Structure 1
Amino acid sequence: MTETSTCRICEGTVRRFVDFGEQPLSDAFRDPSDETEEFFYGLAVGHCSGCDMVQLMEAVPRERMFHEGYPYYSSGSTVMRSHFQTTAARLISEYATGEDPFIVELGSNDGVMLESVARAGIRHLGMEPSASVAEVARSKGVRVREAFFEKATALEILEQDGPADVVYAANTFCHIPYVDSVLAGLGELLVPEGVFVFEDPYFGDVIEKASFDQFYDEHFFLFTATSVAGMARRFGFSLVDVERLPTHGGELRYTLAREGRRTPTLRVARMLQEEARRGLTSPAALRAFADRVRANGDRLVGELRALRDQGKRVVGYGATAKSATVLNFCGIGPDLLEYVCDTTPDKQGRLTPGSHVPVVGHDRFTEAYPDYALLLAWNHADEIMAKETGFRDAGGRWIHYVPEVRVV
């Protein structure tokens, strides 16, 4: 694996600080009868000292990740449905205030956010390249275009629908290596006072929690306020607001506007100062993170092997995209996990990418509770714990690996 690559933001030098080895596509759940060769790529993460951006060293072609069979549905979590309903209300009240406002969402998935916008009677458009989830959104009355957003598509939208008051993206912008084309497209599409609002996993939380499974094929960038502010300036935008979110294990919501069009909030300056004080991307912090990752991985495998040797039944809970990283990096397969349960029908009956652990429905979990469950969907821990009281009452115990390996 190469030690350096070229930065996608400033064309500076990106230096590797952690390497997770060969990894499969995180959402490529396999049919057990499929004998074709599985696709793997090198998952290494680097930092650009020129613009402070944390990014993958190798980009996976977007068509391999986001396609008609993409199995993730944003509406699957009660917590996330509530989050997106609240978000829609805020976007409408704060930015859709003109005579005929227009809201665009990048990576609109199954329409969970835009459904509220549509019900409010506001013009909207979801950009969603994955046909299966786009069709679900249409069934909710959401207008969707099956395409990737970039400068060319932005110009087409502008011609057809006119300029947008707000463009929103949730857990999508960090997926896009070609941010130059996206930001150029936003410069064309947004009204002069328009905003780009996006929320993605926060590298500050990744460092603090050692949540190394936030790195996988879809998460090309891990942002900080510092790196986003620098990126924005390069493309004629300013970071005008930043907000902490508890979703997905710790995220930041960033708001960009054209340079000089909006006054940055005090939260921007405070967050930039906090990041400078913490030294999130200093060489020492990055080395310490890599050391914690290796130590946590070793402890997790040791715990699972000990339980197996004691004859305990151990399963995985949540066939998440991020679980591909932990299972493959740690070498956790069907010898250590009996199965992984998940509520997504498209994943059931298949095998986890690379590690080939059977994925089963949630009913398998409740029919005969195991002794232990590895919480792969740790970012939904509160929701899961409230739901699975029967497992706890039956004597079941949870295995956590973020921020450290522990059994509760």
Structure 2
Amino acid sequence: MLRCRVCGGAVRECLDFGRQPVSSAFVDPAHTGAELFFRLAVGFCTSCTMVQQLEEVPRDEMFRFDYPYRSSGSTVMRKHFQQTARQLLDTELTGPDPFAVEIGSNDGILLQDIAEAGVRHLGVDPSGEAAEVARAKGIRVRVEFFEESTARAIRAEHGPADVIFSANTISHIAYIDSIFRGVDALLAPNGVFVFEDRYLGDIIEHTYFDQIYDEHFYLFSIHSVQAMAAQFGFALVGAERLPVHGGAVRYTVARAGARRPAPEVAELLARERELGLGLPETYERFAANIRRTRDDLLALLRRLRAEGHRIVGYGATQKSATVANYCGIGPDLVSAVYDSTREKQGRLTPGVHIPVLPPEEFGAPYPAYALLFAWNHAEEIMAKERQFRESGGRWILYVPDVHIV
């Protein structure tokens, strides 16, 4: 019997996306035979309700020195993290000598504003290339994975942290017990552990199935995070819905008894009971919706190609690895993917090997259709590429269902 990585309860398998590649491992065209694949299957704990992957990809395979994602690549995300930094500065980092630590600091998009405010800070990230970008902005970064030993070393050198922050990272870390022991070792008595992640409720309600890929080992809900925090001697005291990434939640965790939970926690727990996030039939419906989306998307792409239309992708996102490999979408259906991340350009997408090209080539000439893998940035991308629509081009989206705009 499979056991929960958080509480040890029984885990029931509910989704299987089959053989999948490492989503961040964009392939050098000269070396296409050395990819790592794994079975992407998901289950939920019948005790604490934590949704989790059943097979763990080694962290060194996912989060390498040359990890290609850069948080600053999106205008929307830059604004989001600027607002988040200001909120932390105004609420939690107000003492005489506050100290903030970020787990998964990437290119320093959040810590930049905290550093410019003169607040002591430290980013922790295993990607050396991303750390170099952050350091060029004057941000202090420790290049390694965050775990209990890291936290103790930071505490010994810098003292306790008033805020430990993380965005779209905690759900990536299978060894969650070491994370919480590290938070326990590093966090000041009245400090807070604040982390943002994609929200299971939105993923199920809107069939955002591509949010499930190797890095998202856990899919958090209010209920499962509350149970997880309690498992390690903490309490969930805040839960704020966020619009980014198609729906996320900012969780605030404190030491048990240190703070009173905000009323939003109880409100969102009640909403989750209405959604049935702890019931097997909810995941059965979700799986059926995913299969329908796969079939509809493939039928549309095949029809358009049979009619002689050129189709490309837009946004070589890591979540697109799930879509392309689960649905079997290769260069025969989608001839190229355009992406602004320099580190991805000139490479091939994981598994299905679609060429990645710079967005400057998108209109040379424009295709008839563009499959928008980066649907969570649809408004920003469509505004940037308005000439595509003006030239007669159409966008294909597959969430919450397959449609053309």
**Bucket of the pairwise TM-score, normalised by the shorter protein:** over 0.9
- Name the SS of the counterpart of 1:195 in structure 2: strand
Q: Residues 105-139 of structure 1: CA distance to partner in whole angstroms, max 9, x if unpaired? A: 00000000000010000000000101110110000
CA distance in 2, matches of 1:95, 1:361: 40
Deviation at 1:12, TM superposition (A): 1.3
- Name the SS of the counterpart of 2:14 in structure 1: strand
The 5 Å alignment of 1:23-62 reads 23-62=20-59
Q: Which of 169, 173, 195 matches 1:172?
A: 169
Provide the residue aligned with 1:100 in structure 2.
97
Deviation at 1:37, TM superposition (A): 2.5
Deviation at 1:36, TM superposition (A): 3.2
Q: TM-score, length-normalised on structure 2?
A: 0.99
CA distance in 2, matches of 1:67, 1:18: 27
- Name the SS of the counterpart of 2:257 in structure 1: coil
CA distance in 1, matches of 2:391, 2:160: 57
Deviation at 1:284, TM superposition (A): 1.2
Provide the residue aligned with 1:197 in structure 2.
194
When structure 1 is superposed on structure 2, of 61-70 and 275-284 the one drifting more is 275-284
Q: Residues 181-221 of structure 1: CA distance to partner in whole angstroms, max 9, x if unpaired? A: 11011111111100000000000000011011101010000
CA distance in 1, matches of 2:193, 2:25: 31
- Provide structure 2 residue ranges, at least 5 long, that are not aligned to the other structure: none
Matching of residue 300 in structure 1 with residue 297 in structure 2? yes
- Name the SS of the counterpart of 2:278 in structure 1: coil
Matching of residue 356 in structure 1 with residue 353 in structure 2? yes
Provide the residue aligned with 1:157 in structure 2.
154
Matching of residue 227 in structure 1 with residue 245 in structure 2? no
Provide the residue aligned with 1:143 in structure 2.
140
Provide the residue aligned with 1:14 in structure 2.
11
Provide the residue aligned with 1:325 in structure 2.
322
**AA matched with 2:201:** G
Deviation at 1:98, TM superposition (A): 1.1
In the TM superposition, structure 1's runs of 4+ consecutive aligned residues that sit over 4 Å from their partners are: none
**AA matched with 2:374:** A
Provide the residue aligned with 1:70 in structure 2.
67
CA distance in 2, matches of 1:101, 1:375: 42
Q: Residues 22-77 of structure 1: CA distance to partner in whole angstroms, max 9, x if unpaired? A: 00000111111104321100000100011100000011010111111100000000
Provide the residue aligned with 2:403 in structure 1.
406
Q: Which of 260, 265, 281 matches 1:263?
A: 260
- Name the SS of the counterpart of 2:7 in structure 1: coil
Aligned residues: 405
The 5 Å alignment of 1:213-292 reads 213-292=210-289
Provide the residue aligned with 1:112 in structure 2.
109
- Name the SS of the counterpart of 2:344 in structure 1: coil
CA distance in 2, matches of 1:242, 1:208: 19
Q: TM-score, length-normalised on structure 1?
A: 0.98
Deviation at 1:95, TM superposition (A): 0.4
- Provide structure 1 residue ranges, at least 5 long, that are not aligned to the other structure: none
Matching of residue 381 in structure 1 with residue 363 in structure 2? no
CA distance in 2, matches of 1:299, 1:10: 38
Deviation at 1:277, TM superposition (A): 1.8
